[in-house]
Amino acid sequence: MSIGQVGQMTIVKAELVDCELINRMAWVAFPHTYREMLSKEQIEYMMHWMYDVENLKKQMQEQKHEYFIAYCDNAPAGYISIRPDREDCYHLEKIYVMPDFQRKHYGDTMFDFVVEYIKSNYPEIRTLELNVNRDNSAVNFYRRKGMRIDHQGDFHIGHNFYMNDYIMRLDF
């Protein structure tokens, strides 16, 4: 189902059959993003924890994650995942642009899309939050998009691995 055309980008809502594509995209985008921040062991662990096809299906079916895939000229260019968090808050779980499509403002397009999608489909939602690694240069991107650091945390995810994150927030 096509959600929208934004410039050269088409964004579609992912279905269960898209979990394998999301998995393949993640195996490129996630390690590329975190190659200088996390160990290979932690990347491998997190990839299975978040992106195994069965885990993606569980997120979509049981945990109310909504995934979107961004395409440019019919090529998968990135993916997004959002989920309800609190009564008036949605959480931006994942927003990744494939390496070949980076530095072309597609991240801006995808972020703007998801904000408008939430506002249009969930008018009761007043806040968007996300976790971002404190060493990730994306912190500056999110600041430019109007988000602010609300707090930070070190979250144990298993096998002595932690996510050392800022929790950023955008109020609508």
Pairing of strands 127-133, 89-97: parallel
Distance of CA 60 to the CA centre of its chain: 14
Q: Which of 118, 18, 5, 142 is nearest to 68 (CA)?
A: 18
Within-domain flag for 145: no
10 Å Cβ neighbour count for 11?
A: 22
Which position has the token pair 């394998």? Answer: 20
Q: What is the pLDDT, as a whole number, of residue 8?
A: 83
In this prediction the pTM is 0.94
Is 135 contained in some domain? no
Q: Which amino acid is at 86?
A: R
CATH value at residue 100: 3.40.630.30
In angstroms, rounded to a whole number, what is the distance separating the alpha carbons of residues 20 and 28? 13
SS (H, E, C) the chain: CEEEEECCEEEEECCHHHHHHHHHHHHHHHHHHHCCCCCHHHHHHHHHHHHCHHHHHHHHHHCCCEEEEEEECCEEEEEEEEEEEECCEEEEEEEEECHHHCCCCHHHHHHHHHHHHHHHHCCCCCEEEEEEECCCCHHHHHHHCCCEEEEEEEEEEECCEEEEEEEEEEEC
The parent domain of residue 97 ranges over: 2-130
172 residues of the chain, pLDDT tens digit each: 456 565 689 999 999 999 999 999 999 999 999 999 999 999 999 999 999 999 999 999 999 999 999 999 999 999 999 999 999 999 999 999 999 999 999 999 999 999 999 999 999 999 999 999 999 999 999 999 999 999 999 999 999 999 999 999 999 9
Residue at 19 is within a domain: yes
Domain for residue 115, yes or no?
A: yes
- Are 110 and 78 in contact by the 8 Å Cβ rule? The answer is yes
Structural domains in the chain (count): 1
Question: What is the rounded distance in angstroms from the CA atom of residue 56 to the CA atom of residue 9?
Answer: 23
Give the gyration radius of the chain's Cα atoms.
15
